Amino acid sequence: MSLLQELKDRSGAKCELCSSEIDLKVYEVQPISTGGVDGSLLACNTCVSQIEDSSLVDANHWRCLNDSMWSEFRAVKVVAWRMLHRLKNEGWPQDLLDIMYLDGEELQFAEATGDHLDESEKVIHKDCNGSILQAGDNVVLIKDLKVKGSSMVAKQGTAVRRISLDPENAKYIEGKVGAQTIVIITDYVKKMADKE
């Protein structure tokens, strides 16, 4: 069974955020670690476009979160929590956040993108060209790097896929080079185009 079909079965073929039945698609919740049913939700085009582009956000559309925040599915709860944080200056979202509960693992997943932080508090990771890096991005090394604690050298031009970001230091990212996960300084990477 396809992921789309599994999510349709789980949601009754409705957007898991606003209950729309139009233009539904799979939305993989960032940062993508597992994807699949646990890391994805079924969402309408309206919800997805507003999640991905904050300039399109219509606060009234998200009043639907009053219901979807109680979902039993982690991906739905995490997106609801993130959107409520983005909208908390509206007033009513803060009331919902005050009564919403996420367990420790869900909260860690929800906080991974930094949506809960004010702009002044966010740790922004940038590559050697100043392009903003996000969790799940692919980067390429721009110089040979000796891996501390091993004899391994990560060669210039090596692609590092699906990076994760250090939430406390804008200079550090993590990624896999071969079978080994290493910490890389952002000054030595260049963001790859989204084409794979």
In order along its 196 residues, the chain shows pLDDT tens digits of 798 999 999 999 999 999 999 999 999 888 765 668 888 999 999 999 998 888 899 999 999 999 999 999 999 999 999 999 889 888 899 899 899 999 988 888 888 776 655 555 567 788 988 888 888 889 999 999 888 878 888 889 999 988 888 877 888 898 888 778 888 989 999 998 764 4
Quote the pLDDT of residue 75: 92
Quote the pLDDT of residue 30: 81
Q: Which of 84, 56, 67, 73 is nearest to 18 (CA)?
A: 67
Bridge partners of 164, per DSSP, are 174
Quote the pLDDT of residue 175: 87
Tell which phi-psi region holds residue 144, choosing left (phi > 0), alpha (psi between -120 and 50) or beta: beta
Helices marked H in the chain: 3-11, 45-52, 65-68, 74-86, 92-99, 104-111
Helices and strands counted in the chain (H then E) = 6, 12
CATH architecture assigned to 123-191: Roll (2.30)
Q: Where exactly are the structural domains of the chain?
A: 3-111, 123-191
Using omega within 30 degrees of 0 as the cis cutoff, is the peptide bond preceding 93 cis? no
Model pTM? Answer: 0.61
Q: Which of 189, 53, 49 is nearest to 132 (CA)?
A: 189
Quote the pLDDT of residue 52: 86
